[in-house]
Structure formats: structure tokens, C-alpha cells
Chain A
Amino acid sequence: MAEEKRILVVGGGISGITTTVEAAEVGYEVTLIEKNPYLGGRVAQLNKYFPKLCPPNCGLEINFRRIKNNPRVKFYTLAEVEKISGTEGDFDVTVKLNPRYVNEKCTACGACVDVCPQERPNDFNLGMDKTKAIYLPHEFAFPLRYVIDEKYCAKEKCAKCVEACAYNAIDLNMKSQSISLKAGSIVWATGWNPYEATKIDNLGFGKYQNVITNMMMERLASHNGPTEGKILRPSDGKEVSRVAFVQCAGSRDENHLPYCSYICCLASMKQATYVREQYPQAQILIFYIDIRSPGTRYEKFYKKVQSDENIKFIKGKVAKIEEDPATKDLTVVAEDTQSMQKIHEKVELVVLATGMAPITKEWKIPTSVSYDTDGFVLSNTGPAGIYAIGCAIKPVDVYSSAREGTAAALKAIQSTSGGVRR
């Protein structure tokens, strides 16, 4: 098949992976590019999916196998799109490949890590622990290959890893390079970042150690997280017996994210089950404006969580959070809109249900396309043949992302083949 008939997918999270494998399994050639050193995106950081409470790595494993087994898929990690030109059916794309400093000879034996003297904050665990400057992003990482963080590596001045590697897999002279790709259509699935919680002054994130975000909670609850899955509060590593979840932390708020991020109600309920599973005596408070669990399975899950007597739902927006400097315990101040009472609840850990900010807010598609005021791509505003999906256009859950990813595969095929069945 001619090179220009490839489909290019930008973003290797659940949406982009889905588009990739679904199109390739029809019989089309697909190139997937991802900026991280591994595929999987946001969902790779999650402990479980709601409402089923199943592990994301289960589905990722299947999807990675689909990629491995399919010769029509070509993927690049540490890659970014620099330039797009051309038209539907015939795009020219320049992709920058950032150096991994570790080549394909790596067997993931880990000998390099033992000798590396430098540390870096572990972004996979949202900075809650450290890795060495040469590291495996996480244990389920695909591809299973080490990578060097150039910001922290002393390179030739050190080079201990080069000596330790028995496979000549480390190349400290690796340079970034640009490659040109031909694509018939482009699917943009760059996903989201958690909203910067330090911006929400009244909720104390960044000021009080025991105020964490929902994504941090995912990592704390994950066995491959900084605490090996034990939910411990950051200030003193203590077990928790009373935890508050603050919904709409920055979401549905004109000063922050005016929209609803869709997933946070269910995510907090799911995280409440993490705490309850680990601490049978623990009390949970969920402060919310509206509980948004639309549909069949989500509503069923809400009912299940509601039936737990130790989980209390309080309708009311949290006004502020205060810390007791001696104990590092926190007081959540809110108005219960049903009892019209101002309430003060003392807890050991506060989880902010921070929302999703589209990555396209900072990192635009290098083509003429319009965005809304929040940075989401406006559908059907770009050139024909370029499709934005998933959290690049609106906040969505995993199920919808996979659905959109599947639908985008068909749109991409139409643009690539010009509606001619192969």
C-alpha cells in the first residue's frame, strides 16, 4: 500500500490507541505517535476503572498485544508533531523524535538503574516519589524499555550506565531528529492534564500536605505507586480513618473551569471504595453540587456506593479548607445546602476532584483549527481529514473515549481511502 495512505494518530492514550488498532484491524496502515516514552496515556496511571473496578492494565495489555501482533501499526514514542501541510488524503507531517538515549537493544534488565547516581521526581507518580535519571516509566510500560531524563542526567560526565549495560543499549549521544511522514488523515487525541490545583486558593493544595488531587489518589492506591498501593497521607505516612472528597474542585467554576469535567463524581466514588476496602472503619465524606452518574451502570454504581453507611454524601460546595499545624489534620468548611447549615468537618486527608484541562489549551494543532475559550478543539473547524477526539474536544470518560476512538477510525479511513472500498 502506498505510503500516503497511512492514517496518522497523534496521542497514545486510550482514544488514540483505540483508533490505531481499530483502523489497522480493518486493514489500514496506521502510524501512532506519542510524546511520552510509553503508550497508555492517562489511563496507565489509574488504579481501577469505574464503575467496574477493573484494572486499566488489563485492557491496555490486550491493546498492546493488538499493536504487537499487527504489522500495519507503526508507533513512535517521545514524538511530537511539528508541522502539518497538505490536504485530506495527502498530508505531509513533520514529527520530532526526542532522544530516549536507550536503543532497541535494551532488555529491561535494570543494571543501569543500580549504578545511576542521579535522581528525578517521578512524574508518573505526580512527583510523590523519585526515580533515577535512567528509569523505566512504570512496570507495565510499553514498550518495555528504559529511558533517560536528559534534565537530570549528567551524560558523558558520568556515563556509569553505559559501562553497566551489557548490551550496548545506552547511547548518550543520541540526538533529536525530525522525520517526515505522509498521511491520508490525522486523528488528534492528545488528551488532558489535571487542572492545576494550586490555582484554587481556598482549597489549600500546595499549602497543606494532606490536601491531594484525585490523580494523586489514583497513584497512592495503585500497587505500582509510591506507597505500593497503601493509602497513606503525605505529611506523616499515617493511615487514614476519615477522608473528605471535594467535588467540582475548580470545575463548574467561572474562575477556573466553567464546564463540568464529567468524570470526577464517579472517580471520587470509586476512590471512596479504595479507602473503604483498605480501612474497613474509615469514614468518607463527599461534598458535591450534583452527583452526575448518568446512564445505567454509573447510576447503579452510585447506588452501590450510597448504600455504604460509612460514605456520607453532603450537598454543598466547599468554601475553604484549614489545617491544624500541629496534627496536619484538616477542617473542611462548607454549607450544607439541604440543611442550610454551615458545617465544619475534621478529616485526615482531603482529595480534590480536580477536573480536566485539554492539552490543546497549551499545545495547539499546527494547522488552522478553532478552539473554544477553554482550549478544547471545536469539531469540524479544521481542514477536512483532521479529526480531534476524546478529551481534545470535551471531557469524557474512558468508555466514551474508546467509542470515539472507534468512530474516528472510520472517519480517518474515509478520508484516507476517499470512500473507495479496498
Chain B
Amino acid sequence: MEKKIGVYICTDCEIGKSLNIDSLVKVATKTKAPVVKTHPALCQKEGVEFIKNDMATEGVNAVIIAACSSRVNYDVFNLGIPLLERVNLREGVVWCQPPNNEDTQMMAEDYVRMGILKMQKMEAPEPYKAENLSKNVLVVGGGLAGITAANEAAKTGYDVFLVEKNDSLGGWMARLYKQTPTKPPYTDLEEPLIKDLIKEIQQNSKVKIYTSSLVEKIDGAPGLFDVTVKQNGNVETFRAGAIVSAAGTIPYDATKIEHLGFGKYPNVITNYMLEERASKGTIVRPSDSKPAKTVAFILCAGQRDETHLPYCSATCCVESLKQAKYIREQYPDSKVYIFYRDMRTPGHYEYFYKGIQNDPGVFLTKGDVKSITEDENKNLNIDVENTLLGEKIRVNVDLAVLATGMVPVSALGEEILPPGVKPGDEFIPYIMIETDILNLEYRQGGEAPVLIYGYSDSNFICFPYETRRTGIYAAGSVRSPMDISSTIEDATGAALKAIQCIELTDRGEAVHPRVGDTSYVDIFLQKCTQCKRCTEECPFGAINEDEKANPLYNPTRCRRCAVCMGACPERIMSFKNYSVDMIGTMVKNIEVPPEEDEKPRAIVFVCENDAYPALDMVGLHRLNYTPFVRVVPLRCAGSMNLVWVADALSKGIDGILILGCQYGDDYQCHMATGSHLAKIRLSKVAETLDRLKLESGRVQMEQISISEYYKIPQILDEFIEKLKGFGPNPYKGF
């Protein structure tokens, strides 16, 4: 169907009073919009009817609403058509510029023109429909997290493949003697729930269990993961839609903590070992099987310690209290010492802690255990400093238990950086540890990138399941150290995300953060020069390579951030509704006043996630800024293609500013590395500008968050002042 554009200019909310609407209409008509109309209040019922009437009677099927920001009245202007564009005249022009002013008018006219050109270049996206999509879930790891994820997915109606490397299910949990209390009064130890969960999953016909099995290979993409599993030498393949990775943790190697004597003295054991001994019945010490009646617990053994594990394993305080309790229950005449650094019993665990504190047979103190030595009876002398008693103390015990921490299985390997990246580089796109958990056939490596201490958690506080590999969700302690109830929650959430990815993929929609986006990349392969930028820079590893280094794009892995579009020097990556040509056309059609007018022009590329809403806030607060900027929203700052900079400068634009999200360790970019990539690209263009005798300061990037909107006017004003200092772009008028 032929596209018929209708432009609707609202004159309410000071737009009509501040702008010359007739000239706006002329600009729209001149830009070849077939239908151009004004209305006194488009967002009111009559206004919407006004547009709908044109759609019905005049065949308008591509609507441009020149009124308020797209952040408001989104529901009112939901016209049920894919080709809808909002030109922000309210927050973006009249609320941040003086009324009835020549410069304000020029700004509004540019935006109307740019909106129409954008629409002319835009096509309605059609959802990507892959064939033979699988709705099954693959769960890797058969511990508490894996079993929970599998059970929960199956309960929701999905078939599950559960792959466990050991010969039985349950992981560490299967070795537990008791569990910490989960209900008031939070004093009584509970039977491990894992046995019931194992039974439940074994009886569930929707779950196919592979024990003694490893994932040998995963090829493909969400909806289309082809999984090869090796079990006792046999190889089996199946297709899965999404993956929960619940490989779990192993205990830290206690022999490394030399001053605590593990491995040297038989009666120094770890918390894990005590649990196994306790489940066998009487708790006796290893050297002579004597009942362990005086026991010391050393917390943070090799934890919160830069030479061992720098982090806290989050569960050991509570687990040690639990172990102290069952020792006290088994031997009423026993004496237990607990040496801790900070007693970490958050939430309701505090009740449990209080109960233990009230037991006179348990001696608790903060303290640093300096050494453990053995006496002639194989008893252990424990020397502790900095105790709350204000002195050094020594206790003699039958058994010492080290609360060693967890090491995620995802950390068990060498860190591998992308080609050409060195440790300490300013920008490290990702860290890969090849651990044989997933064995993905991805160009960027076989596992999901790790973020902190080898854990593959999320960098986002509000989006705990955000991942750098679409459709692959880590769950349980491989993600972050966590206790039993958190693991169950975590795994249930991961199952939801896996199912959600499967359903979104089925509908041809993107997953977070662009949920519902049905556009995807078209690659004009004939022009590809095999430079590999797109395959290397995709934050989500969506693009593989063939043997000739041509990109092999996986639409269902794609998050639609368009970082590849920004990366490609040949401009061959495009979306139906977002392309280099589209933004380039907008940029090239900004009116550039002649040099003698002394009115510079700058393009401001803004990230539509944070910086664009921040600009709205500027308008909402009626903060004024320079009229010489033209805002162009981008899906992500990382989708900025350098050709736009060239287009702008050759057109006589004086400078280019990018407002993107914070990058670096605590990045806020929702596309992970997008804003950092924008910064790096921009620094490259700065070198080129220097060579062309153009000031490199004509391009600049600022990191801005939505809450820092009040800083924006100054940033814009100062940028324009800087450009004025440089003088006009010498290419102006060429």
C-alpha cells in the first residue's frame, strides 16, 4: 500500500501562541507531505477523531503528530498504525525557547521537516518469523536452581531438558544435613527440601533429565538453539527455545588459606565437609572419630580477602549458625565458638541469630583468627585477635570448621579478552571465561560474558535478569552468592525470562529493553568488506561470521540496539524504520544559516532511553537553552554512524554533540557497551578532524542520566559557545 503522510500540528499548550503555525504548515507542504492540518488540541477527543477521520476518508496511513513529546499521550495517540511519528514541538521547542522568536521558529521548522523526511524513509517493520521454532527450555545444572527452574517451567506448560554433569540430581543441596529455618519463630532447623523437589521433577513427564551429561555444543539462537548433549559417550541433539544456566558453585580451595591449617591438620575441616559428616549421623572429628564437642567456627575463611575471595558469599554466617545449632543439639554438653567479622544475618535471619546468642553453650565474638595450630592430642589452638573482649584470646578445640566461600563454576577458567584488547585497556567490551558450561557456537566465545569475579550477574539493579546473551539466563549461585530461598526465587524468575523470550521470539518481537520492537536488521551483504566491526561490537553477540568473515546475523539474538548499524563503515546494516540513510537525510536537511548570520548549528544525538526523557524534563521545567542545537534521538548512542558526522560537517553544521548514558564499570547504557562505543568512535573522528584542520572539539560526548536533566542547558550552551570560539565551519556554504 502506498504511504500517505498526514502531518497534524497542534496549536495548544503554547505552541500556537509561540510559533508561526502558517509557516510550519508551509514547511510541511514544501517537504511534500500530502496532508497538512492544524488543530487546537489534538490530544483531546475531537483532535484524535480529526486524525482518525483523515485516516478513514483520505487514506492517511502514516501520521506525524507535531505536538507534545512521545513520552506523554502515548495512549491517546495510539492509532493502531506502525507508521506514527511524534514531532516534539512542546517540550522540545516552545517550553525551552523564547516565544515568537526567529530562532525558535527555525528550530520548529527544522523539526517538522526532519519528522517528515524520517517518515518518508520509514517502512513498517514486519515481525521476523523463523521456522521450526522450539518452545522447549534447556536447563543446564541439576542443583536447586536448575531443578527449580525446570519444575517451574514445566508447571507453566513448557517441556524442559535438564542436563546435569553428575550422576544424580541435587547438587550441593543434596548433601545438606539440615536447612535454616524459614518460618516463625525462626529457631527450628528444617529438613532439606531438595529431596521432595527431586522426586517432583523425576515424576514430571514434561522434564527430560540427562544425568552424567555435558552440553557439548549449542548452536543457533533463541527459539532455534540446537543443543548437543553427551551422555556416557552417547550424543543426542535437540532444539530448545531458551536456556537457563544454573551451573552453580564449588567451594573455595581451603588449602590455599595457609594460616588456617586446612590440609595440614586433620581436624580442620570446611563447612561443606561438616555438613556431609553431620548427615551421616554422629558428628565426630576426622583424626580419631572422637565426638566433636568443642568446635570453633571460623567465618569469612578466605573471604572478604583480596588474596583469596574478595567478596562475601552471603550464606556462611547463617549456615555456620545452623551448624553450631545442630552440634549443640547433638551434644548438649558441647561448646561452640564462632569467630566472625560482621555477623550477616539479614532480614528474618536476625531472629535465628538471636536464638543462638541466647544459647550459653555458644560463644560468639567478632575477631580475626590469626592462626590455627595443632597440639599433641590433635586438638587445635585457635588464636584470635581484635575480639570484643579487647584482648587476644586462645581457645583449644576438638574441631575447627572453616566457613569457606563459593566460587562460581563460570569462573573456573582463564579470562579471555576479545582480540586486540589488553587487560587495563580503557574499553573492554566483554570478558569471556571458556568453562565448558554452554559451549555456544558464538563468534564472541562459547560462554556468556562474566561481569564480576567470574559471576555472570546483571549490571542493572532494576533489571536483575538483564543478560549479554539473549535467551540465556543464569540462575542461582552461578549468578551471585545466594541462600536457598533466594535461589528458588532466582530460578523461578529465570524460568519466567526463558519463557518470555520464547514467546516474544515466537511473535517476532525483541526482548528487553526494546520489547515489542518487530524491526530487525537487513544486511546488504554485497557491499560487505568483512571488516568484522559488526560481529565484534554487537553487545549481545548476535552476529556470527562465516569462514570468509561475512556477518551471519541471528535476528532472534538481536536486541535491535543498532550498534552494528553505527559500527558499519559501509552502511549496510539497516532496519525498516531506522537506518543510516534516514538519520543522514534528517541531518542533511537541517537549514544552515549563512556564515554572516552568526548563527551556528549543532546536532545533538541523544540516547532515547535517558537523555531524551531528560530533555523533556528540561522543557517541563521551562529551562531555556541555546536555539542553535537540533536534537536527533537515537535508539542507543552506540548506533551513531560516523558518516552522520561527515554529512553534518560537509553540510556546514558547526559541531556534533552526543548525549549518551554513563559508560565504564558501572555502565548505565541499556545496550551494555553502546555508549562507550559511541565515545570511542567519536574519538576516532576527532583525529580525522585534526588532520583536516578542523578543531577536534567540534565533536563532543557527554554522559547524562535522566535525573541530571538540569545540567543539560548548560552543556548545550557551553558547547555552542565553544563552537562560536572556533568560528564557523569552513565547509559552510560548500
Interface residues of A, Cβ cutoff 8 Å to B: 14, 18, 22, 25-27, 47, 49, 52-63, 66, 68-71, 104-105, 107-109, 139-140, 144, 167, 222-224, 252, 258-262, 290-300, 303, 315, 337-340, 372-373, 376, 378, 394-396, 398-400, 402-404, 406-407, 409-411, 413-414, 417, 419-421
Q: Which of B45-97 contact A (CB under 8 A)?
A: 68, 71-72, 74-76, 78
Return 5 A-B CB contacts under 8 Å, by A number: A52-B461, A261-B347, A297-B480, A403-B493, A409-B493
In the docked arrangement, what's the CA distance between A399 and B346, Å?
A: 15
B461 and A54 contact, CB distance less than 8 A: yes
B462 and A63 contact, CB distance less than 8 A: yes
B668 and A139 contact, CB distance less than 8 A: no
Asked if B716 is at the interface of the complex by the 8 Å CB criterion, the answer is no
Beta-carbon nearest neighbor of B458 in chain A: A399
For the complex formed, measure the closest distance between the CB of B473 and the CB atoms of chain A, giving whole angstroms.
10
For the complex formed, measure the closest distance between the CB of B356 and the CB atoms of chain A, giving whole angstroms.
14
In the docked arrangement, what's the CA distance between A291 and B707, Å?
A: 29
List of B residues within 8 angstroms of A108 by Cβ: 72, 620
Whether A407 contacts B705 in the complex (CB less than 8 A), given A262-B346, A290-B344, A294-B312, comes out as no
List of B residues within 8 angstroms of A144 by Cβ: 71-72
Whether A292 contacts B342 in the complex (CB less than 8 A), given A58-B706, A404-B489, A421-B156, comes out as yes
Whether A403 contacts B490 in the complex (CB less than 8 A), given A107-B13, A258-B354, A419-B156, comes out as yes
Among A18, A104, A410, the residue within 8 A (CB) of B499 is A410
In the docked arrangement, what's the CA distance between A227 and B717, Å?
A: 25
Among B157, B465, B668, the residue within 8 A (CB) of A419 is B157
In the docked arrangement, what's the CA distance between A303 and B12, Å?
A: 54
Beta-carbon nearest neighbor of A17 in chain B: B462
List of B residues within 8 angstroms of A404 by Cβ: 489, 493
In the docked arrangement, what's the CA distance between A340 and B105, Å?
A: 72
List of B residues within 8 angstroms of A49 by Cβ: 461-462
Beta-carbon nearest neighbor of B390 in chain A: A340
For the complex formed, measure the closest distance between the CB of A173 and the CB atoms of chain B, giving whole angstroms.
20
Beta-carbon nearest neighbor of A398 in chain B: B461
Asked if B457 is at the interface of the complex by the 8 Å CB criterion, the answer is yes
Whether A300 contacts B499 in the complex (CB less than 8 A), given A294-B346, A398-B462, A410-B152, comes out as no
Q: Which of B146-168 contact A (CB under 8 A)?
A: 152, 155-158
Chain B contact residues, majority secondary structure = loop
A399 and B461 contact, CB distance less than 8 A: yes
List of B residues within 8 angstroms of A394 by Cβ: 347-348
A299 and B388 contact, CB distance less than 8 A: no
List of A residues within 8 angstroms of B43 by Cβ: 107
For the complex formed, measure the closest distance between the CB of B491 and the CB atoms of chain A, giving whole angstroms.
8
Among B68, B304, B452, B620, the residue within 8 A (CB) of A139 is B620
Beta-carbon nearest neighbor of B72 in chain A: A144
Whether A293 contacts B312 in the complex (CB less than 8 A), given A26-B499, A62-B670, A252-B350, comes out as yes
B155 and A414 contact, CB distance less than 8 A: yes
B496 and A22 contact, CB distance less than 8 A: yes
In the docked arrangement, what's the CA distance between A414 and B310, Å?
A: 40
List of A residues within 8 angstroms of B313 by Cβ: 295
In the docked arrangement, what's the CA distance between A105 and B13, Å?
A: 12
Whether A223 contacts B44 in the complex (CB less than 8 A), given A61-B610, A295-B314, A398-B462, comes out as no
Asked if B617 is at the interface of the complex by the 8 Å CB criterion, the answer is yes
B503 and A407 contact, CB distance less than 8 A: no
Question: Interface size on B (CB < 8 Å)?
Answer: 90
Among B342, B386, B495, the residue within 8 A (CB) of A291 is B342
In the docked arrangement, what's the CA distance between A339 and B390, Å?
A: 7
B351 and A407 contact, CB distance less than 8 A: no
Asked if B673 is at the interface of the complex by the 8 Å CB criterion, the answer is no
B135 and A69 contact, CB distance less than 8 A: no
In the docked arrangement, what's the CA distance between A262 and B489, Å?
A: 17
In the docked arrangement, what's the CA distance between A132 and B616, Å?
A: 23
Q: What 4 A-B pairs come out closest when comparing CB atoms?
A: A59-B462, A421-B157, A406-B493, A407-B492
In the docked arrangement, what's the CA distance between A70 and B503, Å?
A: 15
Whether A315 contacts B366 in the complex (CB less than 8 A), given A52-B461, A54-B461, comes out as yes
A61 and B609 contact, CB distance less than 8 A: yes
Whether A299 contacts B348 in the complex (CB less than 8 A), given A59-B463, A61-B610, A406-B464, comes out as no
Given contacts A57-B706, A400-B486, 16 further A-B contacts (CB under 8 A): A18-B462, A54-B668, A58-B668, A60-B462, A66-B515, A108-B72, A140-B706, A296-B480, A303-B310, A338-B366, A340-B390, A398-B462, A406-B496, A410-B496, A414-B152, A417-B157
For the complex formed, measure the closest distance between the CB of A81 and the CB atoms of chain B, giving whole angstroms.
24
Whether A55 contacts B452 in the complex (CB less than 8 A), given A108-B72, A394-B347, A407-B496, comes out as no
Query: What sequence of 0s and 1s flags, for each residue 430-474 of chain B, a beta carbon within 8 Å of any chain A beta carbon?
Result: 000000000000000000000011010101111111000000000
B706 and A55 contact, CB distance less than 8 A: yes
In the docked arrangement, what's the CA distance between A184 and B183, Å?
A: 27
Among B342, B460, B465, B482, the residue within 8 A (CB) of A406 is B465
In the docked arrangement, what's the CA distance between A297 and B72, Å?
A: 36
List of B residues within 8 angstroms of A303 by Cβ: 310
Query: What sequence of 0s and 1s flags, for each residue 349-368 of chain B, a beta carbon within 8 Å of any chain A beta carbon?
Result: 11100100000000000100
Beta-carbon nearest neighbor of A144 in chain B: B72
Q: Which of B499-528 contact A (CB under 8 A)?
A: 499-500, 503-504, 507, 511-513, 515-516
In the docked arrangement, what's the CA distance between A409 and B495, Å?
A: 10
Asked if B641 is at the interface of the complex by the 8 Å CB criterion, the answer is no
Beta-carbon nearest neighbor of B14 in chain A: A109
List of A residues within 8 angstroms of B613 by Cβ: 61
List of A residues within 8 angstroms of B366 by Cβ: 315, 337-338
Asked if B666 is at the interface of the complex by the 8 Å CB criterion, the answer is yes
Asked if B20 is at the interface of the complex by the 8 Å CB criterion, the answer is no
List of B residues within 8 angstroms of A69 by Cβ: 74, 515-516
Beta-carbon nearest neighbor of B78 in chain A: A71
B184 and A372 contact, CB distance less than 8 A: yes
Among B12, B342, B504, B515, the residue within 8 A (CB) of A290 is B342
Query: What sequence of 0s and 1s flags, for each residue 311-325 of chain B, a beta carbon within 8 Å of any chain A beta carbon?
Result: 111100000000000
In the docked arrangement, what's the CA distance between A328 and B725, Å?
A: 50
For the complex formed, measure the closest distance between the CB of A29 and the CB atoms of chain B, giving whole angstroms.
14
Query: What sequence of 0s and 1s flags, for each residue 645-661 of chain B, a beta carbon within 8 Å of any chain A beta carbon?
Result: 00000000000000001
Q: Which of B405-451 contact A (CB under 8 A)?
A: none
Asked if B662 is at the interface of the complex by the 8 Å CB criterion, the answer is yes
Beta-carbon nearest neighbor of A410 in chain B: B496
In the docked arrangement, what's the CA distance between A372 and B707, Å?
A: 38
Among A66, A298, A339, A410, the residue within 8 A (CB) of B493 is A410
List of B residues within 8 angstroms of A298 by Cβ: 312
Whether A410 contacts B492 in the complex (CB less than 8 A), given A108-B620, A296-B453, A400-B486, comes out as yes
Whether A299 contacts B310 in the complex (CB less than 8 A), given A25-B515, A260-B345, A410-B152, comes out as yes
Among B312, B459, B488, the residue within 8 A (CB) of A295 is B312
Q: Which of B509-551 contact A (CB under 8 A)?
A: 511-513, 515-516
For the complex formed, measure the closest distance between the CB of B125 and the CB atoms of chain A, giving whole angstroms.
14
List of B residues within 8 angstroms of A295 by Cβ: 311-314, 480-482
Beta-carbon nearest neighbor of A381 in chain B: B183
List of A residues within 8 angstroms of B504 by Cβ: 25
Q: Which of B690-734 contact A (CB under 8 A)?
A: 705-708, 710
In the docked arrangement, what's the CA distance between A221 and B666, Å?
A: 20
For the complex formed, measure the closest distance between the CB of A61 and the CB atoms of chain B, giving whole angstroms.
5
Among A62, A378, A400, the residue within 8 A (CB) of B183 is A378
Beta-carbon nearest neighbor of A56 in chain B: B462
In the docked arrangement, what's the CA distance between A272 and B675, Å?
A: 29
List of B residues within 8 angstroms of A406 by Cβ: 464-465, 492-493, 496-497
In the docked arrangement, what's the CA distance between A56 and B465, Å?
A: 17
List of A residues within 8 angstroms of B460 by Cβ: 59
Asked if B621 is at the interface of the complex by the 8 Å CB criterion, the answer is yes
For the complex formed, measure the closest distance between the CB of A286 and the CB atoms of chain B, giving whole angstroms.
13
List of B residues within 8 angstroms of A338 by Cβ: 366, 386, 388, 390
For the complex formed, measure the closest distance between the CB of B159 and the CB atoms of chain A, giving whole angstroms.
9
B350 and A299 contact, CB distance less than 8 A: no
B184 and A373 contact, CB distance less than 8 A: yes
Whether A27 contacts B156 in the complex (CB less than 8 A), given A52-B461, A258-B354, A296-B453, comes out as no
